Each structure stands twice: as C-alpha cells, then as structure tokens.
Amino acid sequence: MIFSDVVIIGGGPGGAATAISLLAHAPALSVTLIEATRYEASRVGESLPPLTRSLLETLDLWEAFTALGARESFRTSAVWGQVTSVDNEFIFMPANTGWQLDRASFDAMLANEAKKRGAVVMLGTSLRGVQKIDDGWQLNLSTGSQVLTKFVVDATGGSASFARRAGARFVDLDRLVGISRFFECDEGDARLMVETFADGWWYTAGLPNGKRVTCCVTDADLAQRMKLNETDAWQQQLSITSTVAKITNMRKPCSTITVRSTNSRLLDPVCGDDWLAVGDAASRFDPLSSQGIVKALRSGIFASYAIGDLLLNGDKSGLRRYQRFVTEEFRSYLQTRLKYYRQEQRWPNSEFWRRRHVIRN
C-alpha cells in the first residue's frame, strides 16, 4: 500500500503543471503523478502561442523548454471569411514568438521536471478502480498497487475518467472532431495555416521532428457523411483546399488517419470536496483557439493553490474560487469563439457554419 497526499491521474501539461506548481507552493505535501503511457506515441496539439512563455517561466520551465528545440513561429495565416490568406503577425503582441513542438517530447519533459522536483512519477500505469474511504480515496492501479490519498487531481483529458466516477458530467456544446495525419517535412516554415471550407476548416503546421501535421476539423455527423475516416475521402477533401493542399502537396504521409473528439465542453462540477479536474478534463476549447496547452498549464497552477490551501490550512474557499475561475474562463472563451466563427459568412446554407453562428450558453 502506497500513501500520497495528492495523486494526479494523467501526465499531460495540466497534470504535470499541477505537480510542479504544488511542489513549489506546498513542498510539505507528497505528490504522485500517474501516466498511462511512456510518451512513445505521437500526440496531437502542437501549437504554443506567445503567452505560453510567461507560464513556463512561472513554473521555472523555460530552460527545459528551450532545450527541446521547438520551432519558433512568428505568425499564423488564415483563409477565413475571404478567399485570400491573411497573416496574424505575433510581432505586434507583447510577446512576439510562438512555437510548434513535438507534443510527446514536451509532455515527457514536463513529467521529468515534476520528478526532478520531488514528485513520484509512475509511467505505463493506469487507474483500474476507485473506492471512496473516510479520509480520501483508495486507487487501484494497473500494476497491482494500491494508493491511498487525501486528494485526487483528474488530468485525464477529454475522458475525465476519475471525475465522472465521482459523479461529474460533461456539458457538451458541439460535436467537433479533428481528423489528422502526419507527413514527412524538412522545411523550416513552422507557420500555422488555417483554411475554411463549406463543412469546417483545415489546419497544417510544421513540427520540429521532421513532420507536418494536417487536420480537418468538422462535426462528427458531417465527418461520417463525408467518410473522412477513410484515406481516399480525406485526401480528396484536402486536394480541393486552396492553400493547405499546396503546403502538404508532395509530402509523404508517415501516419494513418486518426480521429479524435475536439468538441467544446465543460465539466459539471469542476471539483468536489477532495478532488478537482484540470486541463481538458475540466474544460475543452475548440482547437481554433490554440489555447489547449496554455489553458492546461494555467489551470494546473491555479489548482495547486486551491489544493495547498485545503490540505495545509483546511481552507475550502480555494476550491470554490477554482470552480468560478474555470467556469468564467469557459464563458469568456465561448464569446470569443462566436466572434471568430461569425467572421465566416460564405456558406450560409452550411450546417456546420449555421451551428456556430448561434449563441450557445
């Protein structure tokens, strides 16, 4: 039997940031980070906006991040609302550099930093069972071990597997999916290109590992209708884009097509008396925002303050503040999302675009 004050389930950016920030904010607490993989497979979610640097510096991760060799990106380009491409230059922002990165390497770096700072990190380990006990939780792991803990952080991404066992449920706002494929690429341009079409939008970005990701984003029912999980149908839709196809043209595919849910959703509730969710387990944003990693890091930092106040001082108000923070952040995101989707008016009869021109609360 293992005991840990805090157990974090999921070793992505949200989980690792929670561990790192908690060990800095409340070093008296023991922290265990459980990750089901060993970061061996490619992961989607490659873009970091300029704002990321301040969060990495807050977590004292900037030096470790620069060692990864992420590709600097100084702008994004979009064919959105018009037929020509428009550049958004980061140079006009207070922080003027973004990055495209190898996500698996980034996540592995975060977990390694958590380990260096005192967390017990269990890789290749998943949660098999949960039992509520008087003073917290008993967790049964795939290794056969049992862990007793006072507090659980759900950082399992879109599955929110622990939070749902604790009674939480997702409020889904759409049916968005991303259908992606990796291509070989040795060019130096890491720019993110976005292009709309009648049933959604595409993006492509150069990564630092000799790859380029290309993804079609649409609703699940429309993807099924267009058979976008089939290579020929996916490639045919790609070929009729005006800019994304040119960037991807002549590149050799180096992966199969993968389909993953990217719908906007909010967990209800985000936390309980002795657990909370971070990152995509708490809320998920449309990939158009390029805010997934930023949101995960930020939620991990704020979560660590709430956990520390609860376990060290018996103060539950931090949990209530955390709930409000996640909820208000999501509400603000929805307003911004509506604004950007309404900029595209070229397909008034499209189901995809009509769905996004309606206010959803």
- Domain boundaries defined on the chain: 2-73+101-173+263-337, 176-261
% of the chain with per-residue pLDDT over 90 = 80
Model confidence pLDDT, tens digit, residues 100-122:
888 999 999 999 999 999 999 99
| Sign of the dihedral through C-alpha 343, 360, 157, 109 | positive
Residue 13 corresponds to which tokens in the numbers above?
A: 């950016």
Going by C-alpha positions, the residue among 142, 138, 189 that lies closest to residue 165 is 138
* Residue 92 pLDDT level (bands cut at 50, 70, 90): very low
Q: What is the pLDDT of residue 98?
A: 85
Cβ pair 35, 302 in contact under 8 A: no
Residue 91: predicted pLDDT: 42
d(CA 34, CA 25): 20
pLDDT digits (tens, 9 = 90+) for 18-31: 999 999 999 999 99
State residue 339's pLDDT score: 94
**CA distances (Å), origin 21, targets 3, 24, 65, 131, 233:** 20, 5, 16, 27, 45
CATH classification code of 2-73+101-173+263-337: 3.50.50.60
Q: Residue 271, SS3?
A: strand
pLDDT tens profile 193-205: 999 999 999 999 8
Model pLDDT for residues 173-225, shown as the tens digit of each residue: 999 999 999 998 866 666 689 999 999 999 998 888 788 899 999 999 999 99
The predicted pLDDT at position 206 comes to 85
CATH 3.30.9.100, domain 176-261, yes or no? yes
* CA distances to 24, 87, 252 from 118, in Å: 10, 43, 43
Higher pLDDT, 327 or 75: 327
Strand order in the sheet with 47-48: 47-48, 98-100, 71-73
Read off the pTM.
Answer: 0.94
The reply to whether domains 2-73+101-173+263-337 and 176-261 share a CATH topology is no
Cα separation, 262 vs 254, whole angstroms: 22
Judge contact between 262 and 178, C-beta under 8 A. Answer: yes
Separation between Cα atoms, residue 11 and residue 348, nearest integer Å:
42
3-state secondary structure of 59: coil
- φ, ψ at 189 (rounded to 5°): -80, 110
